[in-house]
Amino acid sequence: MRTAQAVAWKEIQIYFSSPTAYIVGLIFLALTGFFFTQDLGDPFPEATMVPFFDGAIVMFILLAPALTMRLLAEESKLGTIELLLTSPVRDWEIIVGKYVASLTFFLGLVILSFFYAGLLFVFADPDPGPIYAGYLGFILYGSAALAVGLLSSTMSNNQIVSAVVAMGILLALFFADRAFGSVSGLAGEIIGEMGVRGHFDDFSRGVIDTTNIVYFLSVVVFFLFLSMRTLESRRWR
């Protein structure tokens, strides 16, 4: 575990010394601020953060790959992946360390966005339930998106290719329940359950369902497992 912590700490330092991370952070805060103010122009604006959460999960389809594309793709491009694989570091420690680093940066962005929720509580009287549940759902969704991005980075030595593949997977998960909603029978139910949006919408309405929590955590575990298996296969190339 100490090795995983060392990997995570190294990656966190790289995040905060990289202009890409700051650009992603600025884009995140600017766009979430825009989404937050969408209802303010209405004659009777609602004290809600639903537009914020709806916009944030769509935006993170682009930002999650940007945060994860270099994690292992850059190691492969620079040739340092061979040094990493031949060192006394286990595959799971590499994957977990890099994932924790990206998750830490993401949680930092989430904490900064609490400013918008604070404004809502100061100038309005919102129902806190949907806000708390919405943030929980967004954190779970972001955690899953980062796991997808890490797998893509593990599969490629090109950061752009890694980002594009991750975006494709995230888009497929986002639209699964809508694009295949007309499919009947068991196949339709399975495909519908794979869709991210249906599981997230409950959170934005203030409903915390353990089924949805298990779904997002399962996505995280599944893609981290695939990342470890992909990294392991590199040892035998």
* pLDDT exceeds 70 at position 82: no
The pTM (predicted TM-score) of the whole model is 0.89
Q: What is the mean pLDDT of residues 191-195?
A: 68
Q: How far apart are CA 201 and CA 196, in angstroms?
A: 9
Lowest mean pLDDT among 149-158, 184-193, 214-223: 184-193
**DSSP conformation letters of 14-73:** HHHT-HHHHHHHHHHHHHHHHHHTGGGGSSS--S--HHHHHHHHHHHHHHHHHHHTTTTH
Q: What is the mean pLDDT of residues 71-83?
A: 73
Q: What confidence score (pLDDT) does residue 79 get?
A: 66
pLDDT in tens, 149-181: 999 999 888 889 999 999 999 998 888 776 555
Q: How far apart are CA 61 and CA 138, in angstroms?
A: 12
3-state secondary structure at position 207: coil
* H-state helical runs in the chain: 2-16, 19-36, 50-68, 73-78, 80-86, 91-123, 128-155, 159-179, 185-194, 196-204, 210-234
Q: How far apart are CA 36 and CA 45, in angstroms?
A: 11
pLDDT in tens, 100-134: 999 999 999 999 989 888 888 887 777 788 889 99
Q: What is the mean pLDDT of residues 211-235?
A: 90
Please give the structure tokens belonging to residue 101: 């680093």
pLDDT in tens, 29-70: 888 888 777 766 555 456 677 788 888 898 989 999 999 988
Listed residue (68, 195, 205) closest to 136, CA to CA: 205
Q: What confidence score (pLDDT) does residue 5 get?
A: 86
Please give the structure tokens belonging to residue 157: 């030595």
Q: How far apart are CA 108 and CA 96, in angstroms?
A: 18
